[in-house]
Amino acid sequence: MREINKIIIHCSATIEGQDFDANDIDKWHKEKGWTGIGYHKVIRLNGEVQNGRAITEIGAHALGHNDDSIGIVYIGGLDEERSPKDTRTQEQLIVMRNLCVELLNEFDSITEIKGHNELPNVKKACPCFDVSDWLEATQLKDVLDDRRKRKAD
């Protein structure tokens, strides 16, 4: 099993309210010439979590960060004019936190949760919300801080 150190959150860059799923993203990524969906988990508008690429496989979602990360994508991220917008539904908000907690419980090596746009050399709005603020609001920042502190000791 590969060592997983971080979770990277993405949006599908689709218009608010338009529901897509892992099969749609798999098709889009294959159309780009990839072997298939690059994300490991997909969060649909209704909060359903679908599996994408197996977590044991290296993702294709964040250039230079795929080897040691899990990619989560939520459906949405754009308003009607295709401008960046936090379009997460109430169900997506709840499930995104729960999924991160599950992954943190499964992989004690994870010490970071980042938005795609927080990575070096990324010039995208994705995931169209401030992940740092979200981590603070959901108390996941405290969990990550404690985990990093324990690893440093």
* Whether 65 is catalytic: no
> Which whole-number Å values give the CA distances from 37 to 52, 54, 60, 137, 140, in the listed order?
6, 10, 8, 30, 27
Say which of 6, 29, 41, 116 is annotated catalytic.
Answer: 116
Say which of 11, 100, 126, 128 is annotated catalytic.
Answer: 126
* Unique residue bearing structure tokens 């909060």: 47
* Whether 74 is catalytic: no
Say which of 6, 10, 85, 114 is annotated catalytic.
Answer: 10
User: What's 84's DSSP letter?
Assistant: B
Say which of 29, 39, 61, 100 is annotated catalytic.
Answer: 39
* Whether 61 is catalytic: no
Q: What sign does the dihedral 85-89-94-95 (CA atoms) show?
A: negative
Percentage helix, strand, coil for the chain under 3-state DSSP, each rounded to 5: 35, 20, 50
Q: Are 77 and 11 in contact (CB under 8 A)?
A: yes
Query: Which residues form the catalytic set?
Result: 10, 39, 116, 124, 126
